[in-house]
Amino acid sequence: MNSAGILAASAMGGFPLVARAAAGESAPARTASASSVHRIILDTDPGVDDALAILLALRSPELKVEALTPVAGNVPLDFTLPNALKLLELAGRTDVPVAAGASTPLVRRLVTAKAVHGNNGLGGVELPAPKIRPVSETASELIRRIVRANPGEISIVAVGPLTNVATALRADPGLAQMIRSIVVMGGSLSHGNATPAAEFNFYVDPEAARIVFDAGVPLTMVGLDVTRKALARQEHLKVLDAAKTPVCDFTAKILRATMARWSKDGGQSVALHDPLTVASLVDPEILKLRDFYVLIETSGEASAGQSLGYSGGRCAGPLRWKRRHPRNPPKPSGQMRKSQWKWTQSVSSGFCWGGW
């Protein structure tokens, strides 16, 4: 074990797999039986935390990524689409189809988050130009084709603005009943990050979020209330550094760039919203879920994109609301059941296993 590996193992007690990867040894790969593998379409706007979410999903035997469907969000589609292709090449997973999604929200002008993710969406870290190409279908068409060919089998994990998913649902009224579940990174039951009211993904395309939440598909919302707690810190970068693999090197670079650009604590940590959302499917024990009725605000001058949650109680307003949205029992994340340490361990070992 090299010195960096010892340091990481010591500081991260309970990180034996990462320590072995850091030492250049083969860690025992996790396996999942074919019947338990969760098949997903990952709808994404890469995006620094999207990049980590994509790599984690590709590396997790509990998941089978059927497609990536980039959408405009953190940066324009001109970047999110090639970023998705580049990340597949980095991961050696060029078998996964990529379909170009929407370049603008359903009815609004695109708002991006370049200040967080850098102009290229990857913190300014450059990857080689992709050799692979997107498929000829649009994201909406690919989502519909895959879901219709596998009714009840496919979950959509959406970690960007919900434009692609809403477009598919709107174009195909029978689609909702064929989707196994939708897991969304977005929203908040407290306060936002794009505005005081709204989380970024919902703020970018509130109308799309409204369509998705009202579609009647079993829905889990992994919101800011919990993703703000999922922090990558300096000690986790040391683990990635010690692994000395292309994926871990890249991951550490984009995290460092983001910490330097957009950290609220002097460059010490950064919230990993999208990886937590993927990790919640890799290990469902990570999150404790509660049932809420959720209404997406679309018309407010100061509150567009806000997610308003109602969990019960006796009052006339919410009861009317319940009747209005009888098929909308999404499950926003409440709080993390287990420690953040557990989460970070699963994410980091996801990156570092098997020589990545």
Nearest to 179 by CA among 213, 210, 154: 154
**Where is 63: in which H helix or E strand?**
strand 63-70
Segments in the chain forming alpha helices (H): 3-11, 16-22, 48-59, 77-91, 114-117, 139-149, 163-171, 200-204, 206-213, 224-227, 234-243, 246-261, 273-282, 316-324, 340-352
Does residue 123 interact with Ca ion by CB under 5 A?
no
Nearer CB in complex with Ca ion: 47/118 = 47
Nearest distance, CB of residue 315 and Ca ion, angstroms: 35
Q: Shortest distance, CB of residue 189 to Ca ion, whole angstroms?
A: 19
* End-to-end Cα, the chain, rounded Å: 17
Q: Which of 43, 50, 199, 214 binds Ca ion (CB under 5 A)?
A: 50
CA atoms within 13 A on the CB side of 249: 7
Is 240:348 a contact under the CB 8 Å cutoff?
yes
> What is the token pair recorded at 328?
């909308």
Residue number, 5 or 70, with CB nearest to Ca ion: 70
Site residue total, Ca ion (CB under 5 A): 6
What kind and span of H or E run contains 332? strand 331-336
Please give the full DSSP string across 102-145, using - where no structure is assigned. -SS-SSS-----HHHH-TTSSTT---PPPSS---SSBHHHHHHH
Binds Ca ion (CB under 5 A): choice among 7, 15, 42, 47 = 47
**Given the rule CB under 5 A, which of 29-37, 269-277, 294-302, 336-344 is the region that contacts Ca ion?**
269-277
Closest to Ca ion by CB, 199 or 241: 199
Contacts with Ca ion in 17-46 (CB under 5 A)? 45
* Contact assessment for residue 245 and residue 356, using Cβ atoms and an 8 Å cutoff: yes
Closer CB to Ca ion, 108 or 117, in the complex = 117
Least Cβ distance, residue 25 to Ca ion (angstroms): 34
Site string for Ca ion, 277-316 (x = CB under 5 A): ----------------------------------------
**219-222 vs 331-336, strand pairing mode:** parallel
Output the smallest distance, CB 79 to Ca ion, in A.
13
Range 143-162, binding Ca ion (CB under 5 A):
159-160
Q: In what order do the strands lie in the sheet with 63-70?
A: 63-70, 38-44, 154-158, 181-185, 219-222, 331-336, 287-289
Between 200 and 293, whose beta carbon lies closer to Ca ion? 200
CB 67 within 8 A of CB 42: yes
Tell the residue number behind the tokens 């300096």, with chain if given.
Answer: 234
Minimum CB separation of residue 20 from Ca ion in Å reads 31
Rounded to whole angstroms, what are the CA distances from 14 to 9, 234, 349? 7, 17, 11
Among all residues, which ones are annotated catalytic? 273
Residues in the chain: 356
Least distance between Ca ion and beta carbon 50 (Å): 4
Nearer to Ca ion, 45 or 297 (CB): 45
Question: Cα(60)–Cα(155) distance, rounded to whole angstroms?
Answer: 15
For residues 27 and 276, which CB has a smaller minimum distance to Ca ion in the complex? 276
Site for Ca ion in 325-344 (CB under 5 A): none
Sites of contact with Ca ion (CB under 5 A): 45, 47, 50, 159-160, 274
